[in-house]
Structure 1
């Protein structure tokens, strides 16, 4: 899932040189999936109620594969501005990921109800790990030569997603063999019950998800350009982006141990602390961007795992978890689509990295405050 989008940041320089579009414009490619998630996340829950979770996930994997191919087809350009395949393929990827993002917490709640934090941590670790490999491999793959010509960014983006067709086939086999999702579709005219959109706990979870996602996509998009501006090579910048994500694997796996005992109440608010130190380090000692990025990655990985855990643990059953996941991710990604763009605009306007990094610090402060709210033992739709 994540490898389909994490390769864009390290390849931004190549994309700019190939398309002629400004760097700030192409950085919006990272925000296209976020907009799609904001718009389509609530629809995923509705579709799952009508056709079943497994069937919707099967379609999403097929769409994800198609979008990856479309994105790498030769684009049609108008006056130097890339249009058509590059942006359309990215949008298709966003729509496909919207369904998978929303429904996987419900799958965890349904199949592993007594082990939600542990299974969510494993899922998040795999998500971060595969995304990190995508970031680290795209640049070396793009420079591989055949007949004296480099493969380029198009082949690189397809190569890091080469396992997608395999994943789609495996899930289709699972769908045919599994009984989950059958007989769960809502009958026509059945009562839908109260909506999570009117629940304060759901809004708090959605807001928490939004601010933690904002930091991840800001750094995913801009660590590589920052590193290059500090004199690091393109491949080194890709490694910086990869390591930012790999440390998230460690912290996401460690989260279940923290969610025990009295500390559980305060964990959501404590997680941003390391990233606040990292942002300060990027401002005061930018030469250590690799290490600061890794420190921020610890917050990023654990915060995503925390958010997905909340979407399952703050619901009484997997149907409610699916609704909460759809609503929370819609709200969260609607917000998270803008910070990467704001970060780029601040960089363009000021000409440095201090102002945009200070903006990132404000996002982390907001996460602390929201963490105090979502850490309370409350459930969605409880009166």
Structure 2
């Protein structure tokens, strides 16, 4: 690499979505740190730039459209003293050893450069699983998109990707997909969910189905895709009966099944969570590499934008505390993990002292879990070895939505500090 930066940074933020921008603003407003924000796109704002509405409720205390929210966050970032590098891709990070500076190698239209930073904040977001990750048989004709690609084509480039689309998945993003398709003037051939329960709020999904006019195929799997140059239909299989149903469409939208976008931690000392493939963090949002933090959807896959922004702000506050010379160092952690059907838990390392001093709320995101699929009449449990230290029943646990984990309600007197905490979801 060439063109080494002569003046090292205090904080390098990688990612210009809600969490990265919120961290940038907080760090710039609350300190005199030398901050730089690196974004691979030509604009700041992340996914909200091509979305619809209902943005900003918890972090901005008002409701914006997606583009309006992205513009507001963009303006806030440019008002700070931070150096903002657009159209700049971070190729590699090299964590420092024993308090050494971390190295960041980037590529931009100006060429290759290397920066040094005392702190790195990973805020690279997430992505929807593409076709080749979904084990779907058949050819690969044109007309297959993820929600993100669809929204970019329709909302950014004002294109009509097809005539009739089939939506695969029923997460909250699938409903946003339906709105985008109608905005593009396309008909909807249906929404397909492989589980017997919708993976979002059923009343909202059913109301939209009736309002827009499309069927919902529950307990149904996409068996195969037909078409040579362009999609011309699919075969669906009913999971219980094995009945095959053919549906005509020229477009397929693959929604949900989000995964952390975290290639920068590959082949580094930064520990990752095998459940999310993102970095594992403690309650201060620091990874296993001292001085490298992470916030937002890089930790878990999809989460609401405003919660990501609030988490970015919290990461910034923790970074400021970390840089103080007299900070208190934590040497012992309790590991916490989740068993299926719980999809993840964040953070993955906790301390009882931090639990007592921290309270999660509607406007302050804290430890949380998400489920792989919706459960009726279930319960969440926490186990320490053979001891159950917390249990809470639910009438319904909606998949792919944030469930706050009240760690302060756990019976820590029963917990074994030498045992990891295991979270379970059961059907009652």
TM bracket (short chain) = under 0.3
* Rg (Cα) greater in structure: 2
Higher-strand-fraction structure:
2
- Normalised to the residue count of structure 1, the TM-score between the two structures is 0.28
Higher percent of residues as helix:
1
Normalising by the residue count of structure 2, what TM-score does the alignment of the two structures yield? 0.26
